[in-house]
Structure 1
Amino acid sequence: MPTTFARAADVLAAVGADLGVTEWLTIDQRRIDLFAEATGDHQWIHVDPVRAKDGPFGTTIAHGYLTMSLANYFLPALARYDNLKMGVNYGVDKVRFPAPVKVGARVRGHGLVLAVQEVGGGVQATVRVTMQVEGEERPGCVVDTISRLFFNE
């Protein structure tokens, strides 16, 4: 269940808040192949299961940027903004890929509000999304997302 924010002041007060975790999402080969098609990154470690079986990971792995892009998939499950006029992705501050995400793995997002500041009639929130991989010690991705949020106040 996402944490709900109804106004800018609620977001400003949330620095340090743990937003919890999302439901698990299975990373299947179809998702990897579609990402490869969309980005033109057809490296064999991602799209060739036969060759990847003998590669360094024993199977195909998700692209790092595919794993990072799931932050956008998980954010609405971590935080809900009621009374929002507009929200925009402003960018990211820091991205790391500590471990590969193998095909068939289940991942989920864990959210932590790192910083919030007022900007031009709204707030800018930095939320760290950690892509946890079921059964693995290290995450597949850690990304500090930056969103600008403008409320109807």
Structure 2
Amino acid sequence: MRTPQRTILREPHELLDLVGRELGASEVRVVTQEEIDRFADVTGDHQWIHVDVERAKAGPFGGTIVHGFLTLALVPRLLEDILTIESFSMGVNYGLDRVRFVKPLPPGTEIQGVATLTSAERISVGDDGSEGVQAKASVVVEFANDATTCCVAEILFRYYP
């Protein structure tokens, strides 16, 4: 398990100097079967490998596994543990570039996110010449016990002044 580590910046433009650097590691998080079931209800994805505990015991993974998209949905939350920017008016998730679900995640397994800033650039955000920052981070969702990769996602986010 990695020691949780957070990068704290005063303003978004400070990201410009951190490209290529690891930003830190999140707190440990566990996804429960109850969360999986609620996610299935919200998305309508009731595939047995996720929600049928008894049937999944005889399946390819020996039990249920977390939806890949639920794992992906945790990425912004894990990133929130890792990166704090103290002064900006609004931040938005701008999208994703590359996502891979490398290894199935069984419920009840401890995970952590580890983020590396892969790019950052100034963006024009208003007619008044004001600038924000668009950044991209590679966030690896790891199994906390051995740091093997569960999921990796390149997430883009924007900060507005």
SS of 2:78 mapped into structure 1: helix
Q: Distance in 2 between matches of 1:50 and 1:23?
A: 31
Matching residue within 125, 131, 134 for 2:135: 125
Could you tell me how far apart the structure 2 residues matched to 1:108 and 1:8 are? 24
**TM-score between both structures, scaled by the size of structure 2:** 0.89
Secondary structure in structure 1 of the residue aligned to 2:149:
coil
Q: Within 2, Cα distance between the matches of 1:136 and 1:41?
A: 30
Determine if contact 2:52/2:64 at 8 Å carries over to the other structure. yes
Q: Which runs of 5+ in 2 are unaligned?
A: 125-130
Q: Give the C-alpha shift of residue 77 in structure 1.
A: 0.6
Of residues 53, 58, 70, the one that matches 1:54 is 58
8 Å contact kept, 1:88–1:148: yes
Q: Are residue 139 (structure 1) and residue 149 (structure 2) matched?
A: yes
| 1:30-45 matches, cutoff 5 A | 30-45=34-49
- Say whether the 8 Å CA contact 2:93–2:157 is kept in structure 1: yes
Identity %: 38
Specify the SS of the correspondent of 2:154.
Answer: strand
1:56-109 Cα offsets, whole Å, 9 max, x none, are 000000000001111111111110011111111100010000100011111110
2:127 aligns to what? none
Q: Secondary structure at the match of 1:99?
A: coil
Matches within 5 A, 1:57-76: 57-76=61-80
Could you list the runs of 4 or more consecutive aligned residues of structure 1 that deviate by over 4 angstroms after TM superposition? none
Instruction: Return 5+ residue gaps in structure 1 as ranges.
Output: none
Alignment-derived partner of residue 99 in structure 2:
95
Give the deviation of 1:9 after TM superposition.
2.8
Amino acid at match of 1:111: A
The total of aligned residue pairs comes to 151
1:45-65 deviation line (CA, Å, top 9, x unaligned): 000000000000000000000
Report deviation, 1:20: 1.6
Structure 2 contact 12–87 (Cα < 8 Å) conserved? no
Equivalent residue letter for 1:93: D
Aligned partner of residue 84 in structure 2, secondary structure: strand
The TM-score with structure 1 as length reference comes to 0.94
Partner of 2:21: 17
Equivalent residue number for residue 83 of structure 1: 87
SS at match of 2:91: strand
Shift of 1:136: 4.9
